């Protein structure tokens, strides 16, 4: 059985750890590889490699740093389909969802390659007689990221290309559940001839995370995952003097107004609630039906959801794959039971779905609860699975009150043909990513991936200019010549 290796100082290195975890295909339950839980000593090797590479890398001109990213971008394009297939096999996505993940990852590399312009500072002459002032951006040192299981390839590329483009060095700790696509990415990075130690890969779990958070050499950490872990990363990282950006959990509310175009709206809602089997922080969770739209919307949505084809994502006709693991499947099923216990009406039951070609896979079919009350657990807590809850509201004010009562603030959307309602929604709703007739509010690579309340801990978000600000510090120089 293949054992995944670490990538440190430009070389593939086998971990000496005897603790190994299985990497399981969630559709077939096949064990594809084993991943080591690297030791503290192995983490320190990566940190020292990154530290040792920093001085020379920061002196490398930005235009030269960008050329390595252009090479990586071309290699990723060449391996596009192979990368997508790996994502399907390790994470359970449908093939088109995996292709979308690879495309967005490539776009982040492309944006980061614009670093010669993005990193420019600013200046002013004669701030006083004969005195000039300038502000320049400078890299800081060693950074790291801890990406999640649900976007195993893309999320590290929200951060790493910007970090190294700015002149920092980097360490990636992939999710131990899905290390294969990151492993393949680093095989491509190795082909770019990037200088040794500039970027490193260390496999593992919490022990590796703690070693990174406790190291005085690591200047900052980027994280995407649950709110509980994000809060831990943020508090421990900040206590150790690090910059932290921690994207956390979500409970996203989608509002449908009485004037919405129902055919197009339902199509967008299906993608939002059931794309990636509901395992993404931008997925719809609660459907707020305003006024008279409630019954026709519910009926059309339930009918459309019941027709989705569930199966192994390598089949081009499949529209929804499995959830990530048996443990997570049991968690989602537990929430369905909890919803029933709370008195919600299960109008579409995804339990017990059969996929003939993958009889042991971790599949849950599209599930819909009606007659949901805002105080129910299924309406408030992050389920992270293909479960939709429908709540009827009298007007937009009531819908916004329900959104604001929830502790999360990642994303929210409104479906309407009214400019007035759309403007009121985007102006009032306290969420980081707002959609107007858009079900998945995924910012382009040159915009930040926002988030508020319990959905984000930190100040600067991933992607775009926020990433450049996060990975640099501003130095102000005031000069006078006698």
The phi and psi torsions of 67 (rounded to 5 degrees) equal: -65, -35
Question: Is-catalytic flag, 281?
Answer: yes
What pairs with residue 117 in β-bridges?
none
Distance CA 395, CA 377 (A): 23
Selecting among 276, 281, 358, 431, the annotated active-site residue is 281
| All residues at 6 or more sequence positions from 198 whose CB lies less than 8 Å from its CB, including other chains | 50, 53, 57, 164, 169, 170
End-to-end CA gap in the chain: 71
Provide the annotated active-site residues: 281
């Amino acid at each position: 059985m293949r054992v995944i290796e670490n990538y440190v100082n430009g070389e593939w290195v086998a971990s000496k750890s005897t603790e190994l975890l299985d990497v399981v295909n969630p559709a077939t339950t096949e064990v594809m590889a084993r991943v080591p839980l690297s030791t503290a000593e192995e983490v320190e090797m990566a940190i020292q490699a990154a530290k040792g590479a920093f001085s020379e890398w920061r002196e490398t001109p930005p235009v030269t740093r960008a050329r390595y990213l252009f090479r990586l971008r071309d290699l990723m394009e060449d391996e596009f389909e192979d990368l997508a297939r790996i994502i399907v096999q390790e994470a359970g996505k449908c093939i088109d969802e995996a292709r979308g993940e690879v495309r967005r990852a490539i776009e982040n590399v492309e944006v980061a390659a614009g670093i010669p312009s993005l990193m420019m500072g600013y200046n002013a002459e004669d701030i006083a007689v004969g005195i000039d002032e300038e502000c320049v951006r400078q890299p800081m040192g060693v950074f790291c990221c801890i990406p999640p299981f649900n976007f195993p390839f893309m999320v590290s590329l929200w951060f790493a290309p910007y970090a190294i483009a700015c002149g920092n060095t980097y360490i990636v700790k992939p999710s131990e559940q899905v290390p294969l696509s990151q492993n393949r990415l680093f095989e491509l990075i190795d082909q770019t001839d990037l200088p040794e130690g500039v970027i490193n890969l260390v496999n593992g779990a919490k022990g590796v995370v703690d070693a990174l958070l406790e190291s005085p050499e690591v200047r900052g950490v980027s994280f995407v995952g649950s709110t509980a872990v994000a809060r831990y990363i943020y508090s421990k990282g900040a206590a150790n003097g690090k910059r932290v950006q921690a994207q956390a959990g979500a409970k996203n509310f989608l509002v449908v107004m009485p004037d919405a175009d129902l055919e197009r709206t339902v199509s967008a809602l299906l993608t939002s609630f059931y794309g990636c089997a509901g395992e993404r922080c931008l997925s719809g969770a609660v459907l707020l039906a305003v006024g008279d739209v409630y019954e026709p919307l519910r009926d059309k949505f339930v009918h459309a959801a019941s027709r989705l084809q569930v199966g192994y994502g390598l089949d081009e006709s499949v529209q929804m794959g499995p959830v990530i693991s048996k443990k997570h499947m049991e968690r989602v099923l537990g929430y369905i039971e909890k919803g029933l216990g709370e008195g919600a009406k299960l109008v579409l039951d995804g339990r017990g779905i059969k996929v003939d070609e993958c009889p042991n896979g971790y599949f849950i079919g599209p599930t819909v609860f009606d007659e949901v009350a805002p105080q129910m657990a299924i309406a408030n807590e992050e389920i992270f699975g293909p479960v939709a809850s429908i709540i009827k509201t009298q007007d937009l004010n009531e819908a916004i009150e329900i959104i604001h009562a929830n502790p999360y603030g990642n994303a929210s959307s409104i479906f309407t043909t009214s400019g007035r309602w759309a403007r009121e929604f985007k102006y009032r709703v306290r969420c980081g990513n707002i959609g107007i007739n858009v079900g998945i509010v995924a910012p382009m690579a040159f915009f930040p991936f926002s988030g508020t309340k319990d959905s984000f801990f930190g100040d600067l978000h991933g992607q775009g200019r926020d990433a450049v600000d996060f990975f640099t510090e501003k130095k102000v120089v005031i000069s006078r010549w006698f």
